[in-house]
Amino acid sequence: MKTTLEKAKENIHDNQVNSLNDLLERTYDAEAGYKKAMELAKDDYLTEFLKRRAAQRSQFANELDREIRSMNETPVSSGSTKAALHRSWMDTRAFISGTTDESILNECIRGEKASLDTYSNTLEETNFSPEVSSMLNKQMDGIKNSLQDVKNLEAVEEVVNSF
């Protein structure tokens, strides 16, 4: 029979693993979303930008995967069904009405804001080691920078489209 302290440590461990797996699943979703956006983008610069964001998310996924494995747990291996359905919807919408680079940028902004909320909530609600907190904060900073870059691209797109 486990002591109260052992149960508490087990609950903390489980909470950390579940939180990291949730971030990993969402990171897989973001990577796949960027790859889908890459396929739909018309501008070469935007395509290259989206490619770099997908690579960044792949790196984040590798870091999260390593951390979960270091905790002697099994990481999730893919993104969510909900996100896969959303990407299918984007395909359908692109086929029917044509997707613009501006609409792609809007989706990227929405996704990055959701990612920031998830990271922020996870860091607030879960007690991680300083090393894990540092890794997650570094990833969150990368997402913040990405969000700013997307907003800057959107502003340029709006100026170009106004001519």
Residue 96 has pLDDT above 80, yes or no: no
CA atoms within 13 A on the CB side of 71: 24
What is the predicted pLDDT for the residue at 98? 61
Q: How far is CA 61 from the centre of its chain?
A: 9
Q: Which domain holds residue 154?
A: 4-161
How many domains in the chain? 1
Residue 97 has pLDDT above 50, yes or no: no
DSSP calls for the chain: ---HHHHHHHHHHHHHHHHHHHHHHHHHHHHHHHHHHHHH--SHHHHHHHHHHHHHHHHHHHHHHHHHHHTT-PPP-S--HHHHHHHHHHHHHHHHH---HHHHHHHHHHHHHHHHHHHHHHHHHS---HHHHHHHHHHHHHHHHHHHHHHHHHHHHHHHHT-
Closest to 114 in 3D by CA, of 81, 146, 149, 155: 146
Residue 88 has pLDDT above 90, yes or no: no
Residue 69 has pLDDT above 60, yes or no: yes
What is the predicted pLDDT for the residue at 1? 82
What is the predicted pLDDT for the residue at 9? 87
Q: What pLDDT, in 10s, does the model give residues 41-53?
A: 999 999 999 999 9
Mean pLDDT of the chain: 86
**Taking the complete model, does pTM exceed 0.75, yes or no?**
yes
Which is more confidently placed, 132 or 90? 132
CATH of the domain at 129: 1.20.1260.10
What torsion do the CA atoms of 137, 139, 143, 149 make, to the nearest 10 degrees? 110
Q: 3-state SS string over 147-159?
A: HHHHHHHHHHHHH
Alpha-carbon torsion 120, 125, 126, 127, what sign?
Answer: positive
